[in-house]
Chain A
């Protein structure tokens, strides 16, 4: 049914110059990584390392400061918050916060705290919604609804939440001290509850009460983000530093540059199309929160780790097509994951790590390997930018 032949031209962007702010291909040896990191109040440092549970690969972290609304003293800075363009909103693991630190809970009209069940593909996270002033880099958003995962105040996960997956409410099960969803939407459209007298039932909060992408609530530079990560060698890297830049075309350091192709996203799902091996995968996405490129290719062996393990590194091409039919081909490599990990035991960033996607999911996921050496712009739905109105991605 989806076996269309790709008629899309293949202008492979092998040799795009790595100019300031612009995208570049991760295939070439001279990727975007030669640029000095940008500076400015709209820049936060990104770090790729093994993370707080010491088992992360291809995961970009940032530090986030949360304060009680209006306070400059009741504040905490939390490191190792995963930067995720596939979700929306800030979530902190309760155990990563000092036990004495408290933020005001968000309540409904009856004064009951609003609690969220967040569902990820690998599990569910339960915890109350609190309100905080959120500072990332030099940008602050006031009174942002955020989620505190695994709070002892709401230790019993209702079955209607836990029935959707395994619970990941700790730093070790979650793999980070929290997650910063900076994708192309403002609200997370999650499952919300109140629990009067300890009995939780689902509610429909107002949009303003839902956990929200803090970037959209910044006073300035609030129309999107750029994830800027340097390229790494084919054997991977043990240490990577990049930048999370706020705003698109709002400052001298966040112009679209060479990322002139705007790929608009489905306004409901945030997905676009990616064509690979002649098949169109119409539920595809670019996701900094995915630790590999995930796609269908039954000809590539899979090793026990779940990643692809071809006998030798493969150079492949896929075509990204926006809802607006803007289209370009992208080259990427797939190396043997077992060989990568055994040859570079301290490696935490690999641009050639890939894994199988289930054919009928209709999806090709360009994960963090795609972002290594290619600056990826994500514009928030409804926000105007020099490249048009979000939701879109550009690279």
Chain B
């Protein structure tokens, strides 16, 4: 039983889910030790999921929005995902990439329900409408070697 379980750990096929009372959260491109104030600022509850390739910190805000931050084994946040009735504080969530987001060129044709950026250091897409928004942002340079874009959910 026990060896079976550790074997699965070695394969990275098992997930460890633990509830943390101490916030540990970071913005895109930031480090775990640098920022603990995302959760505080969002006043959310935190859940952490650990796999071999990355760790996911998930905040559930009081407004019902879920923010997930993907942390590489090196401790760097390489992707963030948000989903819910309200758009979260994206300056907090995107960190230094927020300026790339707000400075991005406007789309050729106006559209309030979709926005996308594809730049060398930032791929971001936000969609949705009032009461149901979703978005994802990652830095392709920061993706760990064994992680595919489709792993960011």
- Using a CB–CB distance below 8 Å, which chain A residues touch chain B? 51, 53, 55-59, 82, 84, 86-88, 119-123, 159-160, 162-166, 173-176, 179, 181, 183, 185, 188-191, 268-271, 283, 285, 287, 289-292, 294, 305-306, 355, 357-363, 365, 367
Contact = CB atoms under 8 A, between A and B. Distances in A.
B112 A122 contact: yes
In the A-B complex, the 7 residue pairs with the smallest Cβ-Cβ separation, listed nearest first, are: A175-B110, A86-B129, A163-B91, A120-B112, A269-B132, A122-B115, A166-B102
A160 B89 contact: yes
A84 B112 CA distance: 9
Contacts of B112: 82, 84, 86-87, 120-123, 175, 179, 289
Interface in B81-124: 81, 83, 85-92, 98, 101-102, 104, 106-116
Contacts of A268: 85, 131
Q: Which of B86, B107, B110 has the most CB of A within 10 A?
A: B110
Task: Classify chain B's interface size.
Answer: 35 or more
A285 B90 contact: no
A183 B130 contact: yes
A8 to B, nearest CB: 23
Given A269-B131, A361-B125, A361-B134, 7 more contacts: A56-B109, A86-B113, A175-B110, A306-B116, A357-B114, A360-B152, A365-B114
A212 B32 CA distance: 42
Contact of B130 (A162, A166, A188): A188
A51 B110 CA distance: 10
A116 B89 CA distance: 16
A185 B85 CA distance: 14
Nearest to A361: B134
Contacts of B30: none
7 contacts: A87-B112, A119-B86, A159-B91, A175-B112, A185-B130, A294-B114, A357-B127
A290 B113 contact: yes
Contacts of A270: 129-132
B75 interface: no
Given A59-B110, A121-B115, A166-B101, A271 B152 contact: no
Contact of A290 (B106, B111, B136): B111
B28 to A, nearest CB: 14
Contacts of B133: 119, 121
Contacts of B110: 51, 53, 55-56, 59, 122, 174-176, 291
B107 A122 contact: yes
